[in-house]
Amino acid sequence: NTDASTNPYKEIWDTFGVIRGTDYPDDIVMIGGHRDAWGPGAADNVSGTVSVLEAAHAIADQVKAGRRPKRTLVFATWDAEEWGLIGSTEYVEDDSLRLRKNAVGYLNQDDIAQGPNFSGGGSPSLRSMLRDIVKKVPDPSKQGSVYDVWRKRANLAADSLEPPMGDPGGGSDFAGFYNHLGIPIVDWGFGGESGMYHSQYDDFAWMSRFGDTSFAYHATAAAIGAAMVLRLANADILPYDYVEFAQTMERYVPGID
């Protein structure tokens, strides 16, 4: 089925859960993922949506126990990402003044569980924080931490090297935050061979038989998300790494001379 015969004007809905910070309530740490999909969307992006919701669930339990974050947390699910990032872009445009002034970082969860192979990327200033977090999260393979397995799979030539991380481009909901407002972003997930991207085969049957049979990688991505959110929310000094930012920028300067 397609939308060719339906009303071309459609309402879309973004949803938000907010936990107000204690010490720096104006500062915003946001994690989000899109809800819409081309087909059933088990990987793209039910996996990202449930990662956001489970991170929210874990942190809500902390709040109920009396441990509130220092900065305000926002858990978002976006509509109409597949139609051109419309849901997140409308939000960024509508709240741009507050975001430009107070947003600490945006964590994106898109298509995050369809195999065992971890990868991450984002703003150079937040990459070291992601590496630090995954050093403390057990990998579902039981071969050490997520970081240990990531390094082993990267087959690095020297101990001083780190697994490669991608630079932000476009095509997901971080674009409005990063490309237009300059807010640091980071994303991560577990991938593998699939062949069902944006198809009707991206469903529960495929996920439960092939993509993530025990849903352990879903849970691990959510654990990383909760830890990332809390690290940004509670840091006395925000953990931006401007050395890595400068080193990354140096690689691009020759190309624009």
Angle between helices 216-234 and 48-64 (to 10 degrees): 50
Q: How far apart are CA 220 and CA 223, in angstroms?
A: 5
The full DSSP string for 80-97 is -STTTSHHHHHHHHHTHH
Known catalytic membership, residue 81: yes
Q: How far apart are CA 225 and CA 61, in angstroms?
A: 15
Q: How far apart are CA 231 and CA 73, in angstroms?
A: 11
The H or E element containing residue 131 is helix 124-134
In the sheet where 24-34 sits, what is the strand order? Answer: 15-19, 71-78, 24-34, 103-108, 185-191, 117-122
Of the residues 81, 90, 162, 193, only one is catalytic, namely 81
- Residue 159 CA: distances (Å) to CA of 70, 151, 154, 162: 36, 10, 11, 8
Q: What residues are annotated to the active site? A: 81
